[in-house]
Structure 1
Amino acid sequence: MLNNLLRFSFIAVLVSFCGLAAGQAEDVNSPDGMIRMVTQQVLTEIKSDKEIQAGNLTRITELVNQKILPYIDFNRTTRLVMGRYWASATPQQQQQITEQFKLLLIHTYSGALAQVRDQQMTYQPFRSSPTDTDVIVRSSVVNNDKTIELDYRLYKTPNGWRVYDLNILGVWLIQVYKQQFADQIAQHGVDGLLDFLTQRNQQITTGG
């Protein structure tokens, strides 16, 4: 159940990043406008790249790195997932865990891009104050006649808004991984968590 939830959440992210009409003018300085802008770029890539549609992991990783990750703060996400354990990790460990966590999400859900077809994405009216620095953009995805609520949490940086958490079916991504990370660290330490993430990525890459 958990794996299905996470897999659909990633599909939903990609649909939301791909599901709006190309050519629509957006205010890229606003949280919802930034997300809509990215959608147009990713949709063009998916429709024109047969390797992505076939699930080529190398091309998928390139697309995610080029078009999506610049708008996601994985460092902030990983820091919040690790919670109090973040401070006990060295800067090198923090960097390595962040990178391995990013790769794990890309590897685990690489097939999602190939499944993006005609799902429909709708956004709820976005309201915020000019002084807000942490906001939620609420939306929903219609997939096989099922409507799934999907929310993004973003915060304002000197370089614009960045996504750092995702809510699918009432479960936030950070919540999903927080306990898993805590269990690994409690049993094996920070290095144990890094080894676990690295091994999982290696297993996925080799088809394990």
Structure 2
Amino acid sequence: MKRILALFCIYLALVAPAATAADMVAPDVLVRDVTNEVLAIVRADKAIQAGDTHRVLQLVDAKVLPHFDFRRMTMLAVGRDWRDASPAQQAKLTEAFRTLLVRTYSNALTQYRDQVIDFKPSRAADADTRVQIRTEVKQAGAQPIGIDYMLEKTDKGWKVFDVVVAGVSLVTNYRSNFAQEIRNGGVDGLIRSIEDKNRSLEAEQARQ
């Protein structure tokens, strides 16, 4: 499961110039074109291939983060307890979870070698405001892995609010753990737990 989810960061580089509602790029085109662009960068960047996490973080920051709705992702991961959190707690949770996702999966980009991505035909209609874009990652000697992107149309373009890897939702995957942390220490306890994990990941990456 860890290896499957590690592929998440490789294929989530969904970025495009800011678009108005009139000229917004279709979500399937966005996923296909920009994913190919990012993988081309990875193939050409020897530092990333050698495990330079700083370069990976730069790439993720430039190509991925602006096009994810981290607040919505955090709300879905926290579940019903989100409503009980204060606005300040919600902001801290969002920032901590955003950092956790970036830190957890930044190393995955260095693992890319020769995987092939098959982009499935989109079933979305022009009037849809939420779409599921399906892809399949093919690797030599292994079963293909399905990665589906859940996107929502906003006035700032299409935003990713969940990723489903091999049938497992990214945000739902965290929900039971987050619920347990809240039962043990409340919302502040969850914030501390995520921040502790982030510090541990940062120290681990600094040693590499």
TM over 0.5: yes
CA distance 1:173–1:114, change in 2 (3 Å): same
Aligned-partner Cα distance in 2 for 1:185–1:150: 29
Aligned-partner Cα distance in 2 for 1:188–1:35: 39
Answer whether contact 1:38 1:68 (CA < 8 A) is retained. no
Displaced runs of 4 or more, over 6 A: none
Partner of 2:198: 201
Aligned-partner Cα distance in 1 for 2:51–2:98: 18
- 2:26 equivalent among 27, 30, 45: 30
Specify every segment of 5 or more residues in structure 1 that has no aligned partner in the other structure, as ranges.
Answer: 19-26
RMSD: 2.1
Give the C-alpha shift of residue 182 in structure 1.
0.8
Residue range with higher mean Cα deviation, 80-89 or 190-199: 80-89
TM-score normalised by the chain length of structure 1? 0.86
AA aligned to 1:206 is A
Matched residue pairs, number?
Answer: 196
Partner of 1:116: 112
Residue range with higher mean Cα deviation, 85-94 or 190-199: 85-94
- 1:128 equivalent among 124, 130, 154: 124
Residue range with higher mean Cα deviation, 146-155 or 86-95: 86-95
Aligned-partner Cα distance in 2 for 1:16–1:207: 23
Answer whether contact 2:10 2:112 (CA < 8 A) is retained. yes
**Percent identical across equivalent pairs?**
39
Confirm whether residue 103 of structure 1 aligns to residue 99 of structure 2.
yes
Q: 1:177-207: per-residue Cα shift (whole Å, max 9, x none)? A: 0111111111100110000001011112222
Partner of 2:156: 159
- 1:64 equivalent among 55, 60, 72: 60
Aligned-partner Cα distance in 1 for 2:68–2:78: 17
Aligned-partner Cα distance in 1 for 2:116–2:97: 29
Answer whether contact 1:141 1:147 (CA < 8 A) is retained. yes
Specify every segment of 5 or more residues in structure 2 that has no aligned partner in the other structure, as ranges.
Answer: 15-22
Q: 1:4-34: per-residue Cα shift (whole Å, max 9, x none)? A: x24422315514759xxxxxxxx96211111
Give the C-alpha shift of residue 124 in structure 1.
1.4
Aligned-partner Cα distance in 2 for 1:64–1:54: 16
- 2:71 equivalent among 72, 75, 81: 75
TM-score normalised by the chain length of structure 2? 0.86
